[in-house]
A = this chain, B = another copy of it.
């Protein structure tokens, strides 16, 4: 029964993980590492395994303990602190498609917005950021409407009542991917109020991802953006 030796082996080769090397072929980007719940050694091991057959690695939700070991052990690694991302880009992916807008309602939504923005960039997309434009001061959104309408996809990040995607989508004819954040308290229920607001948007065409899932929104935006002639 080999369970006792399991963690030790982990630091050397990811026997605990069965990396899906075929993913680049199927989905256009190699497997991404979700750091939450993994040891630094496990993250490093999986990253090296991926890099044995790919030029790019993305590791999201990096916590303090992952940063140093990763930067030391993985050559060419870079830390994006505001996005909580560790990335390796041995060969930058060529820029494809149009521009993805990342719009955020408040200062506290920034980590999620940055996770989305950096992910789109590492996956080969162009990003324009529009931060702190919540619906409590509607003139701020109206002021950027022109710029937003020129993007090919919008990622709209908001906590609390999550009304921003409704207002933005009502102004444009571009796909809006809404990201609820866990920002708020009491009946915000860790992002559920924002999520429900977005799922029940009176502006048609808004689609939604899991709470705080900036990464997922970026994947969706990339799959859209890549198909567009730049």
**Which residues of A line the B interface, CB within 8 A?**
1, 3-4, 6-7, 14, 16-18, 20, 22-23, 26-28, 32, 36-38, 42, 46, 79-83, 98, 105-108, 110, 114, 117-118, 121, 131-140, 142, 152-153, 160-163, 166-167, 169-175, 177, 180, 182-213, 215-217, 219-220, 222-224, 226-229
Contact = CB atoms under 8 A, between A and B. Distances in A.
Given A82-B7, A228-B227, A216 B205 contact: yes
A188 B228 CA distance: 33
Contact of A137 (B20, B137, B163, B185): B20
- Please tell me how many copies of the chain the complex holds: 8
B160 A200 contact: yes
A186 B212 contact: yes
A82 B20 contact: no
A161 B197 contact: yes
Contacts of A16: 107, 110, 131-132
Contact of A167 (B118, B135, B195): B135
A112 to B, nearest CB: 11
Contacts of A203: 135-136
A136 to B, nearest CB: 4
Given A22-B137, A161-B162, A204 B219 contact: yes
A142 B142 CA distance: 11
A182 to B, nearest CB: 7
Given A18-B132, A27-B205, A186-B212, 7 more contacts: A3-B83, A17-B132, A135-B203, A163-B167, A186-B199, A204-B215, A205-B220
A122 to B, nearest CB: 10
Contact of A38 (B108, B184, B208): B108
A194 B187 contact: no
A161 B201 contact: yes
B135 A166 contact: yes
